Structure 1
């Protein structure tokens, strides 16, 4: 992945992004009074190669003026028919409200569909009101089976096959 949206650059994750991406995710979680779980739900950020890249997923970072302002990722899951889970979609406060989240979600969906996946799952927390609104307005349907402790919502979207 290497694209732009306004003055944001979306690119593939590099090993040098590891500590910055982790700190970014931790700071966004703290903003919403959610716990960061370096030994649990957030350990994948320390192990991007194994959790994402080696499994057929992707992990992107978003930069603005050379500064990391967001992350977005997905990886395959055993949850349905050819399924992935979108994960680690976080933006710093000053990067929100500009359509970047919707753009990233669309780019993720295109990349996922291009790899032949059929279902997209997303877990989130109700306090992440902007995320909930984005997912619900983008065709994600509420489902059951939350697996991440700090989350209380799970959504699924079916991908239509291209004719």
Structure 2
């Protein structure tokens, strides 16, 4: 792998795997897909698949243990993002939503509120469909996050 940032993907049910590979290839960065199973093998030496146990949060734990400051992570999992942001990892959701030190507290609070409303039956908890607009927003946001990570990693 390289000396620069690595892109880690919480790959279970991630809708933007192909987009991650495209952006990472353009920037010459390695990608690590982490999942409980079901990953397509790749012959690309810059792509690594890590299959973890089915234990709850095993993929999250693996990413947290391996990601370094100025790496990039892609996840829709707010609790995982909350563990990565303080470690200096650039974190994006699959819609391009950045999780930053300024936004992670509100993201966690909103996630917890939504969970409470679902548990009490006040909300059905439907997620919005993933759209072409989301995919496009993700591509732009990932490119920006990678540029910031590379710049920060190089000390500029």
Q: TM-score scaled to structure 1, two decimals?
A: 0.32
Structure of larger gyration radius: 2
Larger helix proportion of the pair: 2
Larger strand proportion of the pair: 1
Q: TM-score scaled to structure 2, two decimals?
A: 0.33
